[in-house]
Structure 1
Amino acid sequence: MMAKSKGKLKEMRITLGQKITLCVLAIQIITILMLAGFVVSKTTSSARDTAISNMKAITQERAQIVRNYVKEAENTLTAYSRAGEISALLQSPTDEKAFAAAQKYTETFSGDVANLEGLYASEWNTHVLTHTNAGVVGITTREGDPLKALQDSMLKAKGVYNTGIIISPASQQQIVSLYRAVLNDAGEPIGLVGGGIFTTGLIEILDGLNIEGMTESKYCMVNVKDGAYIFIDDPEKTAQVAEEDYIKSVIASVADAKEDVSGSIEHKMNGKSYISTYYYMADHGWIFFINNSASEILASTNEMKTVLIILSVVALVVLSAFSFVFIRRMMKPMAKIENSIVALKDYDIRENEEIRKYGRRNDELGGIASAAESLIRSLRDIVFTLQNSCSQLDSKADLLQGSSGNLIESVVDSVAVTEEFSASLENTNTIISNVDDEINKINDATQGVLKNISGSVETSNSVIDSAHMMKEQADNAYNTGQETLEKTKSSVREALESLKELAKINDLATEILKISGQTNLLSLNASIEAARAGEAGRGFAVVAGEIGTLADTSKNTASAIQILCQEADSSIEAVNECFNTIIEFIENDVIAQFKDFVDKSTLYSQEVNIIKEQLDSAEQDVQQLCAYVVQIADDMRNVKTITGENEVAINTIVEKNESTSLIAETIQKQSEENRDLAFELQKLVDNFVQ
């Protein structure tokens, strides 16, 4: 079950190419979204600003139409006030001819004015002198404070006094109400003219103007002074105070303005968003509004936004498809390289033409392919080197094992020879002890002879008998000494010949040094190859280090063996010299003395008389002999001491041989381990060369 799960996970593994594709796709999505958002935001903002700016321009244009309409009405009133007939009537209000002329002019002039409600001239007290409606002539329109306020306003206006757009009391229709003071040459008021122009003409003009793309747009105009509507699409709200918050807000913002003000405001009505632009005509105190829904104003912007979103999606799809195809083609060589590298886990280090082909590229994939090819080539070189090293290590291990076996056999033989030599030394010590005893006896006998010679001068017969006995003993001692000397010489020669066998140990140690040098060189080569292999050769580097350590240990052991052999050779040479000295002394001195003693004893037995005469001389000779015997005894004790020291040296050699045997066994065991290690390395190499 676990194996199936792992297999599914392996099949679901996301490749590097897929990851790169996803990353590029994510970057493209984010970039397109950010770009689209930025463009849409900027476009929307720009389109919105443009739409609002256009609405402001249209609003200002409509306000200018209103202003022109009013200005035209004012110009009409001014022209009427400057007519000669009107001036003549005002200067002579009671003149009938002047009245008739003025009335006729009024009727004629009014016929040329469109949308005219009425036109009249009156005295300064508003007493009507002429009117388009003759029935109104003769009435007074204002008195008291209203009259005074009107007079002051006209004088202050220094021209046409526009009371605004109002509902006419006479016609109950909306008019532009105008007044103008008429002055004489002295600048004093002599009367006034007044009139009203219906706003229907203005409304027709405004209604006839359409705003492209704003079918829902509506306009209105509000009087800032009282907040009442002047124009609005709902007739019932005309002259009513505006209740909308956005209108109140605009009125509050321009109430103190001395110049025209243009602006826009966003607001909601009945849950729907609107944008209103306004233009404040400071000279009249009017605000002209154009109002439209935000959705219609920004309709083109929304369409553009939709188009941009569609284009962004299309661009994203195209870029994604192109990126997928491009990345797939770019990552195709990577799959080949990956398969070649993954094949290394199965010990496949054969040459790969695909990698070699991609290695000629000059991009990163070419570098990876070249590196992979170099890695495989290096692995092949390492495997070849390991294979050769394993063969050499195996052969050297066999050679080392054979040499260590020979060393063990040589050490065993050396131990046996040393033990024999030790036994010979013990035998020599025994002989030397016997010789020492005999010399002591000779010394005692010589002392007795000396006493007998001194005390028995007169008893020559006893002396002759003693001389014969001494001669026999001397002959026996001489013969015994000769035989003992020959045996000692033979034993010493045999022992020395046996000790010379120790020189073979030195030869074996020299051979071990050669083997350790070769092993150390092999370890060095293996370490170099392991270093080239890097991480893959770390295990082999450990093996190479152990081989180097083994070589150093073998070298040190062989050197120690050589030193021991040199010490043994020195000891053997010293023993040889000592024994040669002893033998030479016995042959040249002791035997000669014994021979001389025998001759003298013979001479004593033949020449008894001469013995008597020469007893004094014999006494001196015997005393000298005693001195010689004492000297010989001392020398024999020294020889015994030397042989004891040699025995200790031999025991030391035996111990060293045993130590050498243990070292040889260790070398043999290590060589077996080296052989096992070489076998394991060979198995590892075989995985690559199958």
Structure 2
Amino acid sequence: MKNWKMRSAIMVIVLVTTLIGIGALFLMASSRNQKALSESTSDNMATYLTAQANTIENFVTEKENNLKLFGKSYDVRRVLLNEKDAQAQEQAQKYTMEYYNSLDNWEGLYIGNWDTTVLTYQNPEMIGKTLRDGERLEELRNAMLDAQSGVYDAGIIVSPGTGKLCLSMYAPIYDQNENPIGYVGGGVFSAQLEEVLSNLKISGMENTQFYMVNTQTKMNLINPDEKLLATESEDPILLDVIDRANEHPKTKTGHFTTDGKFVQYVNMAGRSWVLVLVCDAKEAYRASNQIVAQLAACCVAAYLLIGILSFVSITRCTRPLGFVERAIVRLGNLDLTKSRELDRYLGHKNEVGILADKIEKLRQALAEIVGVLNDCSESVNVSSQSIHSNTGELSDYITDNMATTQQLAAGIESTNGIVSDLNEKVEHINNMLETVASLIQDGAEKSQELLDSSSNIEKTSKESYESSLVSIKRNRTHIQEATSKLRGLSEINSLVADIMGVAEETNLLSLNASIEAARAGEAGKGFAVVASEIGNLAKDSSETASRIDGICGNVNENISDVADCFTQLTDYLEQDVAPAFSAFNHISEENKQMATDLKSVIVQMQETLQEFGVFLNNVTRQMSNIQQASEQNERGVGDIVNKTSSATLVSEQMINVANSNKESVEKLMKIIDQFTEEKQV
């Protein structure tokens, strides 16, 4: 991810964060919706079952009240106290038949003594029969005595009189001392109860099934399968309900899901009955699943919309960074062309505007530096060419001076020969006067030429020396200005330091956010991912700033090298070339002085020759003087030859210096050529 474009990295972070957020929101919403609908469905079913239980309770209570009202009759207590009284039995039978006929949908109604012997019955054939004995008799007695409502509901049983299923009820009868003397019993056909329950339906859940079981005997009281009525339940679901009801007898309602079935039950604890509703779980949660599907579709649409908006926004916001990147790459490639892409951002106060201003200042500074270096190179090149040209002229002058000096040496040797001949052949002096005069005249002319040449050499060397000093001073000024401008680039290093500081603070913020996300646990996982990506983004920003700082460091090193190079060049010109010019100028002055002296000697020789005829008699005395003058001239010519050789060496050194300057200028021009000329793009 560290090699990705910033735009792609931000887009991936936004999409992943949005996906995590929307996914977490969807899971949370669907979970809460599922839970809310489950609770709502359970509450609705519990309400429905409670209504059913109330219906059953009202139905049974009504029948119990009918039975208790029947047992409160004087005829009932009379016949129980006087079983042998035929009149009492007849009256009780008559009352039983009348009361039975006033009831609706009762299977039977009778009076029995405490031993369950039937005393009256709407079916006379049952009179005198004993219904229970032994343990079953004791169980019935205990159950009647324990019944809190005064009526014991035995549940749905098969009537011994009709063989049909009915709700069997027993109400004990007490004497004045509250001792049981018998009971009244009756049965209500269960079909009437089922008919009442069948009228209640749940909208949208037509496949629901109702059950009612006795939690003590596990007997099926209501069951869709009539064959299972009044039998012990073996259904795992009903057995599970019975166990739950017995474990929590004070819990009125409950629900659970098993084997794809949703089970809701209501505990009728006062009667040891539990009313059960069983339906398909998919049918119960159909509305919830539809809402979850709609929520999922909304989340997908929202994710796509956020992705599109994020792509458009990020593309638009990061577009200026592409311009900045291309501008920095061009500067890194030493391309100083100005980009129109960044013109619109110049002067803005945002990050892109600040970078655009700094890049433009850097480009202008580099362009000015390149211009100054170019001007300096041209100036040094011109100076080198001037030095080379002047050195060539100086070399020519030295060559001419050397030739003249050689001629002068030859003339002096000839003079020495003449002096020797004068010693030997004084008689030939008159004949040789014209020749000597001619030679002296030539010497005078050559001396004048030598004097003129020395003057030119002195003038040229002085002008070259002064020009070199001015050029060196001007170049030093230009180099100092260029170095000052180059050191102004330190603002970029400061800006890079600021960027790295911001990246470090962002990284610290990401670390703190990760710590807080870790403290938040599961709820902070999404935020932890965002914090981690922000940390990665801060790391990428720091690496980018480090690379920019490296580039700036390389530029500063190159600038430092160029400045050192110019400093060395200027020092060389001041310390080596200028003193050499000064020495050469001094030698030229000496040559001029020697040429002047030589001319003076030749003039003296001319004067001597002019006086030669007058002082011919003194020739012998002057011969020694002439010999001495000739020797002095020979030594002077030797000095001139030596100094001319030194001047030749200085000239060669100056040529080497000019060539070295030319090579330095060529190297500098190669560096300048690496920068692209400014043009609009």
Match of 1:309 among 293, 296, 301: 296
- Would you say the 8 A contact 1:349–1:380 is kept in 2? no
Corresponding letter in the other structure for 1:198: F
2:370 alignment partner in structure 1: 386
Match of 2:565 among 525, 546, 562: 546
Q: CA deviation at 1:111?
A: 2.6
Match of 1:51 among 41, 48, 62: 41
- Distance, in Å, in 1 between the alignment partners of 2:376 and 2:146 is 129
Corresponding letter in the other structure for 1:519: N
Match of 2:147 among 153, 157, 163: 157
Q: State TM-score, norm by structure 1.
A: 0.63
- 1:457-479: CA deviation from partner (whole Å, max 9, x where unpaired): xxxxxxxxxxxxxxxxxxxxxxx
SS at match of 1:187: coil
- Distance, in Å, in 2 between the alignment partners of 1:340 and 1:564 is 53
Cα pair distance change 1:295/1:138, threshold 3 Å = same
State how 1:5-16 maps to structure 2 within 5 Å.
none
RMSD of aligned Cα (Å) = 5.3
- 1:478-537: CA deviation from partner (whole Å, max 9, x where unpaired): xxxxxxxxxxxxxxxxxxx99999999899777655544433332222233344467586
- Distance, in Å, in 2 between the alignment partners of 1:656 and 1:177 is 152
State how 1:63-212 maps to structure 2 within 5 Å.
63-157=53-147, 159-212=150-203
Corresponding letter in the other structure for 1:59: L
- Would you say the 8 A contact 2:461–2:585 is kept in 1? no
Q: CA deviation at 1:299?
A: 0.9
Corresponding letter in the other structure for 2:253: S
- Verify: 1:284 aligned to 2:274, yes or no: no
Corresponding letter in the other structure for 1:249: D
651-660 or 377-386, larger mean C-alpha shift = 651-660
- Would you say the 8 A contact 2:205–2:279 is kept in 1? yes
- Verify: 1:520 aligned to 2:476, yes or no: yes
Q: CA deviation at 1:260?
A: 4.3
- Would you say the 8 A contact 1:401–1:672 is kept in 2? no
- Would you say the 8 A contact 2:249–2:267 is kept in 1? no
Q: CA deviation at 1:177?
A: 1.9
Q: CA deviation at 1:371?
A: 3.8
- 1:599-628: CA deviation from partner (whole Å, max 9, x where unpaired): xxxxxxxxxxxxxxxxxxxxxxxxxxxxxx
Cα pair distance change 1:20/1:233, threshold 3 Å = same
- Distance, in Å, in 1 between the alignment partners of 2:172 and 2:103 is 20
Cα pair distance change 1:504/1:331, threshold 3 Å = closer
Cα pair distance change 1:207/1:361, threshold 3 Å = farther
- Would you say the 8 A contact 2:256–2:262 is kept in 1? yes
Q: CA deviation at 1:290?
A: 0.6
1:368 alignment partner in structure 2: 352
Identity among equivalent pairs (%) = 22
Q: CA deviation at 1:294?
A: 0.9
327-336 or 102-111, larger mean C-alpha shift = 327-336
Corresponding letter in the other structure for 1:215: E
- Distance, in Å, in 2 between the alignment partners of 1:235 and 1:178 is 21
Q: CA deviation at 1:567?
A: 12
676-685 or 197-206, larger mean C-alpha shift = 676-685
State how 1:18-57 maps to structure 2 within 5 Å.
28-57=18-47
Cα pair distance change 1:680/1:177, threshold 3 Å = closer
- Distance, in Å, in 2 between the alignment partners of 1:330 and 1:399 is 54
SS at match of 1:263: strand
- 1:549-596: CA deviation from partner (whole Å, max 9, x where unpaired): 211222232576599899999xxxxxxxxxxxxxxxxxxxxxxxxxxx
- Distance, in Å, in 1 between the alignment partners of 2:85 and 2:256 is 59
Count matched residues.
534
Corresponding letter in the other structure for 2:374: C
Cα pair distance change 1:201/1:360, threshold 3 Å = farther
2:607 alignment partner in structure 1: none
1:295 alignment partner in structure 2: 282
- Would you say the 8 A contact 1:347–1:688 is kept in 2? no
407-416 or 140-149, larger mean C-alpha shift = 407-416
- Distance, in Å, in 1 between the alignment partners of 2:114 and 2:675 is 131
State how 1:230-249 maps to structure 2 within 5 Å.
230-249=221-240
Q: CA deviation at 1:298?
A: 0.8
1:585 alignment partner in structure 2: none
- Would you say the 8 A contact 2:33–2:288 is kept in 1? yes
- Distance, in Å, in 2 between the alignment partners of 1:382 and 1:119 is 120
- 1:312-337: CA deviation from partner (whole Å, max 9, x where unpaired): 34444555555566566666777788
Q: CA deviation at 1:305?
A: 2.0
Q: CA deviation at 1:70?
A: 2.7
Q: CA deviation at 1:292?
A: 0.5
- Would you say the 8 A contact 2:376–2:475 is kept in 1? no
- Distance, in Å, in 2 between the alignment partners of 1:190 and 1:42 is 61
Cα pair distance change 1:549/1:259, threshold 3 Å = same
- Would you say the 8 A contact 2:117–2:129 is kept in 1? yes
SS at match of 1:170: coil
SS at match of 2:119: strand
SS at match of 2:161: coil
- Would you say the 8 A contact 1:117–1:197 is kept in 2? yes
- Verify: 1:398 aligned to 2:382, yes or no: yes
- Distance, in Å, in 2 between the alignment partners of 1:513 and 1:50 is 103
- 1:621-664: CA deviation from partner (whole Å, max 9, x where unpaired): xxxxxxxxxxxxxxxxxxxxxx9xxx99x999999995895476
Q: CA deviation at 1:219?
A: 1.1
298-307 or 675-684, larger mean C-alpha shift = 675-684
Cα pair distance change 1:102/1:361, threshold 3 Å = farther
- 1:240-267: CA deviation from partner (whole Å, max 9, x where unpaired): 4433333333333333444344222212
- Distance, in Å, in 2 between the alignment partners of 1:409 and 1:291 is 125
- Would you say the 8 A contact 1:398–1:671 is kept in 2? no
Q: CA deviation at 1:356?
A: 4.1
Corresponding letter in the other structure for 2:281: A
State how 1:222-237 maps to structure 2 within 5 Å.
222-237=213-228
- Would you say the 8 A contact 1:279–1:287 is kept in 2? yes
Match of 1:529 among 485, 498, 513: 485
- Would you say the 8 A contact 1:220–1:288 is kept in 2? yes
SS at match of 1:211: coil
Cα pair distance change 1:524/1:184, threshold 3 Å = same
State how 1:348-367 maps to structure 2 within 5 Å.
349=337, 352=340, 355-357=342-344, 359=346, 364=350, 367=351
- 1:121-153: CA deviation from partner (whole Å, max 9, x where unpaired): 222222322222233223333334433443333
1:274 alignment partner in structure 2: 261
- Would you say the 8 A contact 1:182–1:191 is kept in 2? yes
- 1:533-554: CA deviation from partner (whole Å, max 9, x where unpaired): 6758665654343222211222
- Distance, in Å, in 2 between the alignment partners of 1:682 and 1:156 is 117
State how 1:474-485 maps to structure 2 within 5 Å.
none
Corresponding letter in the other structure for 1:299: R
- Would you say the 8 A contact 2:110–2:122 is kept in 1? yes
Cα pair distance change 1:531/1:653, threshold 3 Å = farther
